[in-house]
Amino acid sequence: MTDLIETLRSSLSEGAVLTGEDATAAAQSPWTRLGAPAAVLRPRSTAEVSAILRAAHAAGQPVTAWGGKTGLVEGCRADGALALSLERMNRIEEIDTAAGSMTVEAGCVLQTACEAAEAEGLLLPLDLGARGSATIGGNISTNAGGNRVIRYGMMRELVLGLEAVLADGTVVSSMNHLLKNNTGYDLKQLFIGSEGTLGVVTRAVIRLQPLPASQNVAFLGVRSFEQLPRLLRRLQTELGGALSAFEVMWDDYYQLVTTEPARGRPILAERYPYYVLVEASGADAAEMEARFEAVLGGALEAGEADDAVIAKTRAEASQIWALRDDVGQTGRNRPIFTFDVSLGVKHMEAYVAGLRETLAARWAAPTCVVFGHLGDGNLHVIVGVGASDRETRHAVEEVVYGPLAPIGGSISAEHGIGLQKREFLPLSRSPAEIALMRTLKQALDPKGILNPGKIFEAA
């Protein structure tokens, strides 16, 4: 290892290799455990990434890629591995306003990319709570979702082309700029969502959208779950594709984000079991505002919602979104376990009720905070049972994940598998699917050096 690190130090740019206390300092994150890497490597170019992987492959040395280090499933834990941080590969190479695309290096922070697109009158639709630290490469490797999936889709739908480096240092440049390019296998899909186990993404071409002229936001109170699917269907139908967010908060989450020490305060005068954040955007501000108000009025008259407040200014819209984004308040119930599941809307009410019942039967005074992107079937579940040891975590995981298999749910909607969900992957994927994943892993990474042990155990 010492010889390998010294070889890399001599062949890479200045400051690219961190060891000792510098590596320890770099392996810190408030989001996840990064472990103790043998060294942290910070390349400045695809050529340097290629050199790193070529040397590591020859030595049989594991490498774990790092983006913004904001994952929640220990997907970038790098004990004893070379941690390959893309933080210095952060350039926005081009924004093509005519084609509506952006060419960007993998280490570019999502918020930086979004602001650059907005300055050109364009929208990079991906939006999530870690926008200020998550990187484009990390978003690609985990197929990130976020708040606007209901309209724009996951990260997979936003990537036109990418460049990746294979385990042996081979550079696969598929920097496609075309929306339609039906020429054989779509190789970029091998790397999107594969959590750095098949290759390291270094650059990408991202599809942009026209920047909406209006952004209409409302906050609704709802008395029963059965109203929510009907409300969602009305909004999708009558807003004509303009609906960009349908975020639901159970009352327990709302209480956390509207009471001290949280900065948020209640939006509605009454208390409800469910609260819905609705966002719609369009090209004609006046027309969209009128339609938005009319559609919400119709929902209230039809009994699909019981109360509503419409943001009249950007500040009021930001205040409403701040409630949804203040996920850190769930930490007030520490110790906690964080889950990210996906299931059909028709199963959600029974799933959450059953989950609460099972938790209450097994632990004294458990907490179960629920919120999420209900419009695309994604719930975030935060559970606290008073302990955080490994046995307790496993028991809670069984309670949360177990009911998903019979209803066709997924143990991971957008966070990935990493190490934390590896044991439960068979609940969402068949033996044949997992076998095919292993075949792809063996073909692209025969020595198993890329993020070993993530998604499934190393062969």
Domain with 384, as residue range(s), is 334-432
Domain boundary among 305, 327, 349: 327
Q: Are both 107 and 196 inside the same structural domain?
A: yes
Q: What digits encode the pLDDT tens for the residues 310-346?
A: 999 999 999 999 999 999 999 999 999 999 999 999 9
Determine, yes or no, domain membership for 127: yes
Residue 424: phi and psi, rounded to 5, are -100, 5
Q: What digits encode the pLDDT tens for the residues 2-43?
A: 899 999 999 999 999 999 999 999 999 988 999 999 999 999
The overall pTM is greater than 0.85:
yes
Q: What digits encode the pLDDT tens for the residues 390-407?
A: 999 999 999 999 999 999
Q: Are both 318 and 248 inside the same structural domain?
A: yes
Q: What digits encode the pLDDT tens for the residues 142-186?
A: 999 999 999 999 999 999 999 999 999 999 999 999 999 999 999
Rounded CA-CA distance 50/8 in Å is 11
Quick one: average pLDDT of 62-87?
96
Quick one: average pLDDT of 428-436?
97
Determine, yes or no, domain membership for 444: no
Determine, yes or no, domain membership for 440: no
Determine, yes or no, domain membership for 445: no
**Total count of domains within the chain:** 4
pLDDT of 408 above 90: yes
Give ∠ CA 262-355-395 in degrees, rounded to 5: 95
Q: Tell me, what's the pLDDT at 459? A: 74
Rounded CA-CA distance 155/184 in Å is 21
Q: Tell me, what's the pLDDT at 240? A: 84
Determine, yes or no, domain membership for 97: yes
pLDDT of 223 above 80: yes
Q: Give percent of the chain with pLDDT exceeding 90.
A: 96
Determine, yes or no, domain membership for 447: no
Rounded CA-CA distance 182/175 in Å is 14
Confidence of residue 458 (pLDDT cuts 50, 70, 90): confident
Q: Tell me, what's the pLDDT at 30? A: 87
- Tokens read off for 120: 């050109």
Determine, yes or no, domain membership for 452: no
Q: Are both 338 and 282 inside the same structural domain?
A: no
Rounded CA-CA distance 264/254 in Å is 10
Determine, yes or no, domain membership for 8: yes
Confidence of residue 224 (pLDDT cuts 50, 70, 90): very high
99: domain CATH number is: 3.30.465.10
40: domain CATH number is: 3.30.43.10
Q: Do 315 and 215 meet the contact criterion of CB atoms below 8 Å apart?
A: no
Q: Give percent of the chain with pLDDT exceeding 70.
A: 100
Q: Are both 323 and 413 inside the same structural domain?
A: no
Q: Are both 220 and 205 inside the same structural domain?
A: no
pLDDT of 242 above 80: yes
Confidence of residue 1 (pLDDT cuts 50, 70, 90): confident
Q: Are both 184 and 100 inside the same structural domain?
A: yes
Q: Are both 240 and 143 inside the same structural domain?
A: no
Q: Are both 26 and 117 inside the same structural domain?
A: no
Q: Over the chain, what is the mean pLDDT?
A: 96
